[in-house]
A = this chain, B = another copy of it.
Amino acid sequence: METQEDCFFRAAVAEAERGLAEGGIPIGAVLVHAGEIIGRGHNRRVQDGSVIHHAEMNCLENAGRLPPSVYRQATLYTTLSPCPMCSGAVVLYGIPRVVVGENRTYRGAEAYLASQGVAVAILDDPSCIRMMERFIREHPELWREDIGEE
C-alpha cells in the first residue's frame, strides 16, 4: 500500500523525470504543507541557463511567496541530497524536515542541516540512484558544473 509520503516522494521523482525529458539534470523536488503539494520543481541549469534553479530552489520559487509560518510546518521532498545552497534555503525559511531520495551519488550539506535542527530522512531509493548514476556517467562535466566542482 502506498503511503502519503510515498505519493509525495513519487511526485518529486516525476519532476526529476520531467527535467530529464527536457534534456536537463534529473533532480526534482516538491514542497508539502498540510497534506498538500504546494510547490513542484526541477533543476533548470540546462533549460534556462540557471545557476540557482536547483530542483529545491525551483520548487521553492514555484511555491511563491508564503507566510513564514507555512514553511515552518512544511516538508521538502527531493530526489537527491541537497547541496549547500539548497540546504541554506531550507535553513533560511525554517523548513523542519527534508525527505531525500538518495545520497550515494552526491552527499550535500546534511551535516549543516542537522546542526541547524533540520530532520533529514534518506530513502536510499534505487530508481533515483540509477537515474543519477547514468546521468553523471553520460554528462560528467555538466554534473561537475552543477555542484561547483572543477
What is the interface of chain A, defined by CB distance below 8 A to chain B? 45, 49-53, 57, 60-61, 63-69, 71-72, 83-89, 91-94, 109, 112, 116, 144-145, 147-150
Contacts and interface: CB of A to CB of B under 8 A. Distances in A.
A148 B68 contact: yes
A100 B10 CA distance: 41
Contacts of A83: 88, 92
A57 B145 CA distance: 17
Given A84-B91, A92-B148, A52 B45 contact: no
B89 A65 contact: no
How many copies of this chain does the complex contain?
2
A91 B112 CA distance: 12
Contact of A51 (B49, B63, B84, B144): B63
Contacts of A92: 83-85, 147-148
Given A52-B60, A68-B149, A88 B84 contact: yes
Contacts of A57: 52
A50, A67, A91, A145: residue with the most chain B Cβ atoms closer than 10 Å: A91
B112 A68 contact: no
Given A84-B88, A87-B88, 17 more contacts: A51-B64, A51-B65, A52-B57, A52-B60, A52-B61, A67-B145, A68-B145, A68-B148, A71-B148, A84-B89, A84-B91, A84-B116, A88-B88, A88-B112, A91-B109, A92-B147, A92-B148
